[in-house]
Structure 1
Amino acid sequence: MSFDFAHPYHFDPRYSRPVAYFSMEYAIHQPLKIYAGGLGFLAGSHLRSAYVLKQNMVGVGILWKYGYYDQVRNADQTMGVLFQEKIYHFLVDTGIQFTIRIHGQPVQVKAWYLPPETFQTAPLFLLSTDVPENDYLAKTTSHKLYDADLAAQLAADIVLGIGGARLFEYLPWKPEIYHLNESHALPLAFYLYQQHQDLDEVKKRLVFTNHTPEAAGNPQHDYHLLEEMSFFGELTADQVRRITGIDGAVFNHTLAALRMAGVTNGVSEIHTRVLHQMWGQYDRISPICSITNAQHAGYWADAEMYEALQTRDAARLRNRKRQQKQALFEVVADQCGKLFDPDVLTIVIARRFAGYKRLDLLLHKPDAWEALVNNARQPVQLIWAGKPYPADQGAIGLFNHLVHLSKSYRNVAVLTGYELALSKQLKAGADVWLNIPRLTREASGTSGMTAAMNGAINVSTPDGWFAEFARDEENSFVIPAAPPDWSPEQADAHDATQLYDVLTRKVIPTYYENPARWIDVMMNSLRDVIPRFDSNRLADEYYEKLYRPEQYRSAPA
C-alpha cells in the first residue's frame, strides 16, 4: 500500500535536495516520549529547524511502545524503572506495512506519521513492529529504546536502517541523501549497496554523523552474529568484509560507516580532532568535517529574557529569573518536600548518568563539600537530575547515593523525570548550569546551550561546544581541566580542586557581592549563544557541508 505523501510544505530552493534523516531517537516535545538523551535532543532540534527553514527533509525513526522508560521512585525515594505503554492519538496511520527479515525470519513493519503542523517539525515517519501479524518476539523489537538485550538492539538497527530504506519504496517522495545520525541505522548502507552494487554510488548518497568517542557509541560485534541476525541484509559476511575492508571475526560499526559514507562530521571542533586521532590511521575513511551541535532557540529560549536583553533591562531580567526559580522550586517542594529560596544561588547538575560526566565530582572533596552546602553567609542550593540507563546498575547506584545523601540537607535535592518538560524548568530556574566531563570525552554536549538560552550561567570544563562558546568570566566560568592523557583518578582529583576554586573564588562571590556583574555575565551568555548555537545554523550547515555530493571528494578535513 502506498501513502499519498508529498512534502507538505513548499521548501526553500536553497534546501531543495531531498534528505532522509535516520535517528534512533527524537526529542521533539514532551508528549512524544521516543528519546533517551542528547542524541534525541539534537535530532528533535534539527527537525524543528528543518521546518523553520523549509528544508526538503524527512525524518525516520522508531515508534517505541514503552519509550526509554519512566523514571519513578521506590518507597525509599530511590530510583525505580517503569515501562509504561505510550499511546499517541496525534500520529497518523499511513496504512503502509511491509516485510523485512530479522534473524532470517519475516517481520512486518508498520509506518506511522507525524505531520509537520503537529509540533512544527519536518515530516517524521515512525516504524513499528508491534502489529498483530508478528509473533511476540518480533513485536518487542520496537518496545524499548536501547533494550538491554543485544539481539533486540541489533533488530532495532535493522528496522531503522533497512525498514527505513524500504519505507521510501511506498512513498512518492524519494531521498537523494540518506543521513545516518549515529551508526544505529547502518544496515541502510548495505541495503543501498544491494541496490547499486557499487560503493561509490553508496557514497554519493550516504552521510554520517558520529556523536561520541565513547566505546558504547562505537560498537563492535561478531560477524557471525550479525550475519545470523540479517544485519547485512542479503549480503554475506564475506561480501561485507570486501566492501568495508574490515577483516577478521569482529565488525566495527563506526569504521564501516566511515568507509561507506561519502562524508562524515564530528559534532564540535574538539570532537572532530578526536575523530581524526581515533580513526586517522585507517585507510579509505571519508573526509571528516566539523559541524558543532546546536539546539532550537525557538523551542528552548525564554522569550521574556530576550526582550529584557534587547533593552538591557537588568531589573526585568533579574525578576524573570526569580520567577522561573520559584516555578522550579514548586517541583522541588512537590518531589522532595524542601522549600528552596529564590534569592539563594542555585546550582543545577542535570545529565545522563555516565561515568565520564562525573556527576558526583563535588563529592570528591568531602571537607569542601561540607563547607559549600553549610555556608550560611553565602548559601547555595543544589539540584541533581538525570536518567541513568535502566540496566546500568552502577549509574543507578550513583543516583540512589545522591538521593540518600540529599536527605541530610535541606538545600540539596534530587529530581526524577528528567525529560523535555523538566529539562526546560531546570534550565529556566538554574542560576548555574554545572558541567564537569573529563576533557575530550564530551563530544559536544547541548544542555548548556539551552541553559544559556534561559539565563543560566555555564560553569564547565572546556570540552565540546563549550570550548567554542566560553569567554571566562564574561559569558561563563571555565574550570581549568587536567590534560586528557592523565589517568581518570589524577584528572578527577585535579578537576575537583579546580571546580571548588572556581565556585568559591569566582562564582559564588560574584553572585552575592557583585550582582550587577552577574547580570552582565548572564546578558553576555544570552547574547552569545544565539545564533551560533541555534539549530537553524546547524540545519543550514548540514545542507552546505554534508548534503552536496559534489563536495564529497574535497570536504574539509
Structure 2
Amino acid sequence: MSSTLPTQFKHPYAFNKKYKKSVAYFSMEFAIDQCLKIYSGGLGFLAGSHMRSAYDLKQNVIGIGVLWKQGYYDQYRKEDRMMGVMFQEKIFHFLEDTGIRFTIEISNHPVLVKAMFLNPETFGTAPMFFLSTDLPENDYLAQSTTFRLYDSDPNAKVAQCMVLGLGGAKLLDVLDYTPDRYHFNEAHALSGAFYLYKKFGHNLDKLKEKLVFTTHTPEEAGNEKHDINFLYNLSFFCGLPMAEVRAISGIHDSIFNHTLVGLRFSEKANGVSKLHGEVSRMMWEGYEGVCPITHITNAQNKKFWADPFLEEYRVANDMPGIVKRKTRLKQKLFDVVADQTGKLFNPQLLTIVWARRFAEYKRPDLIARDLVRFKRLMENTNMPIQLIFAGKPYPMDYGAINTFNSLAYLSRSFSNMAVLTGYELKLSRQLKEGADVWLNTPRVTREASGTSGMSAAMNGAVNVSTNDGWICEFYNNGINSFVLPTVDYQLPTYEQDALDLENLLNVLENEIIPTYYLNREKWNSIVSASLNSVSPFFDSSRMADEYYEKMYK
C-alpha cells in the first residue's frame, strides 16, 4: 500500500512541512458551497471549513463523504405558509466520476458503490471523494441508500453509515492508499473501524495507532445506540464473528453504543470546545477502555465567511466604513425578507437574528415564550427592533417543525418579524452579514460548540448567548458580546427555561436595545471588539493546525 494518491487525485500543492503526515477525514456531511447540497447544519459547516483550511495551509488531508442524491431536504412554504419538506434530485456537473466501482456487504448482500471526485481547485478544498450507491446495477433499496442524508428509517440510516465507513475505508484500498491517520468526524463511519481491524491483521493496537475520533454532541440523539444483533444482521461488523466483536468492543449486553466504541477504538479523541471537552470526559469517565479526550474548539473559515469589504474596513480601523457597509448588507438581507414575506425592513433599525438548526434544546422560540413582554418588545416604537428566524428542523422532528410553524404563525401579527425558509449556506451568510445581534439560546452544556456565532462575529454581528459551547472562550461581557448569567443546569428544564427567558429579556430591554439607540459610540466599540477578537483563534486555520498538533502526531 502506498502513502501517495494516484496522480489524477493528487493535491495541487507541495505540502507544508508541518503537515506532511497523511490524513483521511471521514464525515457524513460537508458544507462546501451552496451548490453542493449534501449537508444539514453545523457538522457540515464545520467539516467544510476544515477542508477549505486544509487547502489554505497545504495540508496532506483528503475528505471522504457521501453524495446525497436528494441532499438533506428542500425547505419551502406550503399553501398555508407553514413549512414543507421536499426531496428533489440534485445534479452536480462539477463532480468527476473516478470510474471506481467496488462492492460492500449490507445485510449480507453485495452493494455496488461508485466514487465521485471533487477537484481541489473547484472550491479551494482538500481533494475529496464522495460515495454513492445510485447505480443501475443495484436494486432500488440499495440505490436509495444514498438518497437522503440522515434517513429516518433505522435500517437505511445504518446502511448509510456503512457506505461512509466501510465504503470509505475500502475506497482507500482500491486507490492503493493507506493514510497515516484515519479521522472519524463523529461515529457515523464506525463500521470502517471493523474493516480496518481486519485489514491490520485483527490487531486492535494497530487500529488504535491509526484512528482518531471527534465527538460532536452531548445530546442523546447524537450518540446513537442500536441492538448489537440488529447491526450484526446488517453486516455492520464486516463479517467478524459476534464473539470477536464483543471482545474488541467491550460491549457485552445487547446495546451497542457507537460513540463509546469509537472512543475505545481510537488512540485519541476530542470534544469541539473547551466546555464540551470537559462535558465529554465526565460523560465517559466511568467506562473502561476509553481513550484520552482532549478538546479542539471548532472554527469557521474566515476567507469563505467574512465579507471582504467589512474585513478591509476592520483592518483599517475604519468604523464609518464598517457602519456604511453593514447598512448595505442589511438591505441585501432585507431584500430576501421582502421577497419571502412581503415585509419591508429598515436597515437603520436594530435587527436580531436567530438562525441555526431547529432543535428543542436550542430553544428557537425562547424569546417569544412570555407573550406579554414579547409583544411589548416588538411594539416599542421609540426603540424598535426587527426579528428574523431561520433554520431547518430535522424533517421527521415534528416537535421542531411545530415550533417553526408556531413562530411563522406568530409572525403574521408583526410587520417587524420574519421567519425565513431555505436556511443553507447562502442564506446563512446573508443572515450573518445582515444581523446586528446574533441570538443563541441553547440550554447550557447541551450545545457542544455552536459555530454559527463565529461567522456572524466575522460579519459585524454582536453575539447574545447563553454561556455554552464556543462562546465561553470568546466572550468579554458587554465588551465584545453579551452572555446571559449561567443558570444551574441541574434544575428541571422548565425552570432553566424560565430563568434564561427572564435574563434574555432583561439584557435586551436594559442593555442591548438602549445601547444601540442611545449610545451608538459604545455599540460601535462592541462591534469593533467582536470583529477584532473573533480571529485568528476562531478561524479554522487555527483549528486545522491544532488537529495536526494534538491529534495526528
Give the structure-1-normalised TM-score: 0.97
Q: Look up the match of 1:279.
A: 284
Does residue 170 (structure 1) correspond to residue 174 (structure 2)? The answer is yes
Cα-Cα RMSD: 0.9
Q: Deviations over 1:462-494 (max 9, x none)?
A: 100000000001000111131111110000000
Q: Indicate the SS of the match to 1:294.
A: coil
Q: Look up the match of 2:118.
A: 114
Measure, in 2, the Cα distance between the counterparts of 1:215 and 1:172. Answer: 38
Q: Deviations over 1:254-289 (max 9, x none)?
A: 110000000000000110110111101112110111
Does residue 497 (structure 1) correspond to residue 502 (structure 2)? The answer is yes
Does residue 125 (structure 1) correspond to residue 129 (structure 2)? The answer is yes
Identify the match of residue 90 of structure 2 among 86, 89, 92: 86
Q: Indicate the SS of the match to 1:258.
A: helix
Does residue 206 (structure 1) correspond to residue 211 (structure 2)? The answer is yes
Stretch of structure 1 that moved more, 480-489 or 378-387: 480-489
Q: Is 2:11–2:126's contact at 8 Å kept on the other side of the alignment?
A: no
Q: CA deviation at 1:198?
A: 1.1
Q: Is 1:4–1:171's contact at 8 Å kept on the other side of the alignment?
A: no
Q: Deviations over 1:33-89 (max 9, x none)?
A: 000000000000000000000000000000000000000110011111010100011
Q: Look up the match of 1:327.
A: 332
Q: Look up the match of 1:27.
A: 31
Q: Is 2:49–2:300's contact at 8 Å kept on the other side of the alignment?
A: yes
Q: Look up the match of 1:453.
A: 458
Q: Indicate the SS of the match to 1:512.
A: helix
Q: Look up the match of 2:3.
A: none
Q: Deviations over 1:372-421 (max 9, x none)?
A: 00000000000000000001111111111111110111000000000000
Q: Look up the match of 1:270.
A: 275
| Matched positions, count | 547
Q: CA deviation at 1:8?
A: 3.2
Map 1:511-530 onto structure 2 (within 5 A): 511-530=516-535
Q: Is 1:459–1:477's contact at 8 Å kept on the other side of the alignment?
A: yes
Q: CA deviation at 1:235?
A: 1.1
Identify the match of residue 400 of structure 1 among 405, 414, 428: 405
Map 1:471-482 onto structure 2 (within 5 A): 471-482=476-487
Q: Look up the match of 1:554.
A: none
Q: Indicate the SS of the match to 2:100.
A: strand
Q: Look up the match of 1:537.
A: 542
Which amino acid letter does the alignment assign opposite residue 370 of structure 1?
A: K
Measure, in 1, the Cα distance between the counterparts of 2:11 and 2:439. Answer: 41
Identify the match of residue 164 of structure 2 among 155, 160, 164: 160
Measure, in 1, the Cα distance between the counterparts of 2:456 and 2:522. Answer: 19
Q: Indicate the SS of the match to 2:134.
A: coil
Q: Indicate the SS of the match to 1:533.
A: coil
Map 1:537-556 onto structure 2 (within 5 A): 537-548=542-553
Q: Is 1:345–1:511's contact at 8 Å kept on the other side of the alignment?
A: yes
Q: Is 2:10–2:127's contact at 8 Å kept on the other side of the alignment?
A: no
Which amino acid letter does the alignment assign opposite residue 117 of structure 2?
A: Y
Identify the match of residue 441 of structure 2 among 432, 436, 445: 436
Q: CA deviation at 1:7?
A: 3.2
Q: Indicate the SS of the match to 1:242.
A: helix
Q: Look up the match of 1:228.
A: 233
Q: Is 2:306–2:459's contact at 8 Å kept on the other side of the alignment?
A: yes
Measure, in 2, the Cα distance between the counterparts of 1:5 and 1:103. Answer: 32
Q: Look up the match of 1:370.
A: 375
Identify the match of residue 422 of structure 1 among 418, 427, 432: 427
Q: CA deviation at 1:4?
A: 4.3
Measure, in 2, the Cα distance between the counterparts of 1:488 and 1:449. Answer: 27
Q: CA deviation at 1:171?
A: 1.6
Identify the match of residue 139 of structure 1 among 143, 149, 153: 143
Measure, in 2, the Cα distance between the counterparts of 1:143 and 1:156. Answer: 9
Measure, in 2, the Cα distance between the counterparts of 1:9 and 1:242. Answer: 43
Q: CA deviation at 1:172?
A: 4.3
Q: CA deviation at 1:313?
A: 1.6
Identify the match of residue 189 of structure 1 among 185, 188, 193: 193
Q: Look up the match of 2:350.
A: 345
Which amino acid letter does the alignment assign opposite residue 489 of structure 1?
A: Y
Unaligned runs of 5+ in 2: 1-5
Q: CA deviation at 1:117?
A: 0.3
Q: CA deviation at 1:335?
A: 0.1
Measure, in 1, the Cα distance between the counterparts of 2:433 and 2:507. Answer: 22
Q: Look up the match of 2:11.
A: 7
Identify the match of residue 264 of structure 2 among 255, 259, 264: 259
Measure, in 2, the Cα distance between the counterparts of 1:365 and 1:400. Answer: 18
Q: Look up the match of 2:221.
A: 216
Stretch of structure 1 that moved more, 82-91 or 171-180: 171-180
**Identity rate, percent:** 57
Q: Indicate the SS of the match to 1:55.
A: coil
Q: Indicate the SS of the match to 1:67.
A: coil
Which amino acid letter does the alignment assign opposite residue 231 of structure 1?
A: F
Measure, in 2, the Cα distance between the counterparts of 1:238 and 1:372. Answer: 62
Q: Deviations over 1:81-117 (max 9, x none)?
A: 0101000110000000001000100000000000000
Q: CA deviation at 1:6?
A: 3.0
Q: Indicate the SS of the match to 1:484.
A: coil
Q: Indicate the SS of the match to 1:122.
A: coil
Q: Indicate the SS of the match to 1:308.
A: helix
Q: CA deviation at 1:367?
A: 1.4
Q: Indicate the SS of the match to 2:469.
A: coil
Q: Look up the match of 1:307.
A: 312
Q: Indicate the SS of the match to 2:213.
A: strand
Q: Indicate the SS of the match to 1:465.
A: helix
Q: Indicate the SS of the match to 2:84.
A: strand
Measure, in 2, the Cα distance between the counterparts of 1:233 and 1:174. Answer: 19
Measure, in 2, the Cα distance between the counterparts of 1:310 and 1:8. Answer: 30
Does residue 45 (structure 1) correspond to residue 45 (structure 2)? The answer is no
Q: Is 1:130–1:142's contact at 8 Å kept on the other side of the alignment?
A: yes
Does residue 239 (structure 1) correspond to residue 226 (structure 2)? The answer is no
Which amino acid letter does the alignment assign opposite residue 318 of structure 2?
A: D
Which amino acid letter does the alignment assign opposite residue 25 of structure 2?
A: Y
Q: Which runs of 4+ in 1 moved over 2 A?
A: 2-9
Map 1:386-397 onto structure 2 (within 5 A): 386-397=391-402
Q: Deviations over 1:489-510 (max 9, x none)?
A: 0000000000001101110001
Measure, in 2, the Cα distance between the counterparts of 1:251 and 1:484. Answer: 28
Q: Indicate the SS of the match to 1:375.
A: coil
Stretch of structure 1 that moved more, 474-483 or 165-174: 165-174
Q: Is 2:440–2:465's contact at 8 Å kept on the other side of the alignment?
A: yes
